[in-house]
Every structure is written in structure tokens, then in C-alpha cells.
Amino acid sequence: MSLCEQHLAETYGFSYVEDGGVTAAQGFSAAGVHAGFRADPNRLDLALVAADEPAAAAAVFTTNVFCAAPVQVSRAHLAATAGDGVKGDGPAYGTARAVVINSGNANAATGPVGLERAERMAAITADEVGCTADEVLVASTGVIGVHLPLGPFEAGVPVAKAKMVADRAGGHGAACAIMTTDTIPKECAVTFEGDDIGYPGCTFTVGGMAKGSGMIMPSMATMIAVLTTDAPLVAADAAGCLKRVVDRTFNKITVDSDTSTNDTCFLLASGDAARGEGRRPFEHDSEALDRFERALLQVCTTLARAMARDGEGATRLVTVTVRGAATAEDADRAARTVANSPLVKTAVFGHDANWGRIAAALGRSGARFRQEDVSISIMGLPVCERGLTCPFDEEEALRRFEAPEIPILVDLGAGNEQTTLWTCDLTHDYVTINGDYRT
């Protein structure tokens, strides 16, 4: 947990659950198994997350035109289970009993066959879990343009179900099963008390797992996250919270500017922590819902930062904060251009406080500002004040580059908006991972 995460937690009174993940919240169980999508028998490649009862569910999906079959199927399932399901590209919501995810095959660019197989993947899972296929959400990650085999689901889902019954708290296995080029599983959970929000004696948990911006050849990056909570939520409110939080967390990370065809983030809410209150849902616009959203923000911030830190080939987490922007869009545009600049990213790799590259990225970002108003600091060292270079201690800069996290702070001097993006450096290993697989 970084200082930033600790600060958030302290501000809002959240406690991190030790080794918490997707099964930390009451009412959920999970498992990860090797089902056969990958050749290596030691590698988990199928994750199953199940809710004991139908859970309020919300999701946000990739905006890529080449959106994968599982994205289309999950969207349709939420629409089918929602009384007033949202259409189009907005956050979808409805009801779900299970999420099934495979790695090793993205089921993208697979046409009608791909849709059919994603439906079968849901149906096989529904049979095991004991629900309708519509109540199953699906996600896939891995190679694209190759048909998804169904055999591993037929073999693997029953095994996962059995494993889940034997050990409900299989969140860690599930987090491992969705990894591609990730080097560590990503999971966390926080709790908050209900006493002062009308739920006396209730302790609510929000947890989740995510896979990072990894790519395993010849597949493509897919960000997938599953979030669970035992807070009692109306699905539409869950969707609203999820959309806002995703915009501030997963949509604020970038490893290589490539948006995947499969990006998916699910949120399931069981309400089980409020059993004593008859699972009375958090009211719309209430203090309780607000508290929940902050906890969700906390969990997603931790997961998103972990994804950026574990970007392909990365040696450093880079946080790019832009302040003083005229609009929120300008802040995002400026931060995103800096965070995606290969010149900035290779400079971090080279331990080079090369602010000229940051300035050049800002200058082409489209954000409105005057060069004589811009100040930049790297790792706390002012390097540019009001558009002009300022001398800094190069030795000290080199020392500060030893830290695992490199903060870049820009003040555009053009207004009051600000944002933070997370990225990583661009290294030889990135080129190796993405360029060398055939050699």
C-alpha cells in the first residue's frame, strides 16, 4: 500500500482486509483452476466467481469497435436480467449469479461462432451454479482471432465448482487464473462501518481482483476486473458508482495507449452484510451510497495502480498529475499525452529528469495554456518554472529515481482543474515481450 492509498484509507476510515480479494465480501465464493486453455498444466486459466443469491450487477465495457464476443454476450445478459436495463454504451446493469473468465483466448474477431461459444460458456456455467444462462457474466482474455474451445469449460467448470464448495475463499486462485503477462495477481479489499450511515452493527466489504495490461503473444492486452461487495445496492446505483469510479481509476491508467477489445469491469453486490437490516438497499443519493462509492474508489485505485506498476516490462510506476488546467478535459488530455509519450517513458527508464520531453508532450496535447505559465517538477524536484528551465541537482535526481514510484507534477497555470494518471516506463523488456516471441 502506497502513501497515496494509505492517505485515502485514513481520510475515509477504510481498513484494508489482509489478503483480501474477490471473496472478501459476504455472499461470494470463487475458484481458479487449470482447464486446458493453456498448455502448461501448472497454470490456472479458468476463474469462477459465484454469488450465493442473485446479486445486483453492473458493468462497464471496452469502447473498442472490435469488441469481443464475451463483451457482447455479457452486455446482453445484463439487459435481459434488468427490469429497466440500460441500452447502448453506458454502464450496463441487471442481476447476476456468476462470472466465468478464461485466459489464453480472447474470443475476439470470431464472428457469429464466437457469440455462440460465449453463450455456451455461460450455459455450461449456469448448469453447474444452478441459475439461468442470463445470470452468468462472461469474460475472456488472450489470443484473438482464434475460436474459443468449449472442451476446457466442460471439463473445468465442474472442477472449479467443486473447489469453490470445498473452499469458498478461493479469490486468490481466481485472481491467478485471469493473469496473462501479469507478473503478480492483483487483488484487494477494504471495509467500512455502517453505524453512522443508518446500518448499525453492519460492516461492509468491497473487494476485487483485476488483470493488468499484459499481452501474451500473439494476443492483446485485456484489462478485466471483478468487484464484489456485500453492501445492499440497487443495480442502477451500482452502475452509476461503477461508471464514476472506473473513470477515475481504470480509465486513468495507460501502459501503451492501446485500448483492448475485451476490457471488462464487473461489480456484483450481495447485500449480505445488511442481512440484519433485511438487505434494505442503500438509498439513492444517500450518505451510505456515498461511503460505498468511496470504498469502491479505494479498491479500484489500488487495483489500477497495481496494473500500471505491473505494465509489461515496467520497472517504475509513474504518476502524472496535472494541475491548473482550464477544464477537466484539458487536464486529462495533458496528463494522458505525457503518460503515453514514449520519450517520457524511455527517459524514466533511463533515469533522466528530461523535462523538455514532458514540455513537448504538453505542448502537443491540445490542452490550452501558455508556455510561460507552466511549471513542472519530477520526483519533487522543480525542473521548470513558468516555462523556463531551473537548475536542479542531477545527483539528487538520480538518487530519487531509485524509488519504485516516480511522480511527475505539472501546473499549467491556466485554471483550477486537475487529474492524476498512472503509467509505467518503456523498457527493453516491453520490446522483448511484444516483439521477440517468434525469435
Catalytic residues: 222
Which region, judged by CB under 8 A, interacts with a copy of itself, from 92-100, 161-169, 173-181, 426-434?
A: 426-434
The string over 278-292, giving b where at least 16 C-beta atoms fall within 10 Å of a residue's C-beta and e elsewhere, is ebebbeeeeebbebb
Choice from 2, 15, 132, 259 touching a copy of itself (CB under 8 A): 259
- 183 binds a copy of itself per the rule CB under 8 A: no
In degrees, rounded to 5, the angle at the alpha carbon of residue 220 between the alpha carbons of residues 215 and 221 is 60
Secondary structure tally for the chain: helices H, strands E: 12, 15
Cβ proximity of 257 and 316 under 8 Å? no
- 432 binds a copy of itself per the rule CB under 8 A: yes
- 388 binds a copy of itself per the rule CB under 8 A: yes
What is the C-alpha separation between 52 and 239, in angstroms, rounded?
Answer: 21
Long-range pairs of 120-124 with CB within 8 A, sequence gap ≥ 24: 120/150, 120/153, 121/70, 121/148, 121/150, 121/153, 122/73, 122/77, 124/150, 124/153, 124/154, 124/157
Beta carbon nearer to a copy of itself, 37 or 355: 355
- 241 binds a copy of itself per the rule CB under 8 A: no
Q: How far is the CB of 293 from a copy of itself (least distance, A)?
A: 27
Q: Site for a copy of itself (CB under 8 A): how many residues? A: 69
- 372 binds a copy of itself per the rule CB under 8 A: yes
Structure letter (DSSP) for residue 78: H
The three grid cell numbers given for residue 122, joined into one nine-digit string:
455461460
Beta carbon nearer to a copy of itself, 62 or 95: 62
Q: How far is the CB of 136 from a copy of itself (least distance, A)?
A: 24
Choice from 7, 280, 284, 364 touching a copy of itself (CB under 8 A): 364
Choice from 10, 18, 65, 402 touching a copy of itself (CB under 8 A): 65
- In terms of Cα–Cα distance, which of 405, 251, 249, 248 is closest to 319? 405
- 90 binds a copy of itself per the rule CB under 8 A: no
Residues that bind a copy of itself (CB under 8 A): 63-67, 106, 108-111, 143-146, 215, 217-221, 256-261, 340-343, 346-347, 349-352, 354-357, 359-364, 369-372, 374, 384, 387-389, 398, 425-428, 430-432, 434-439
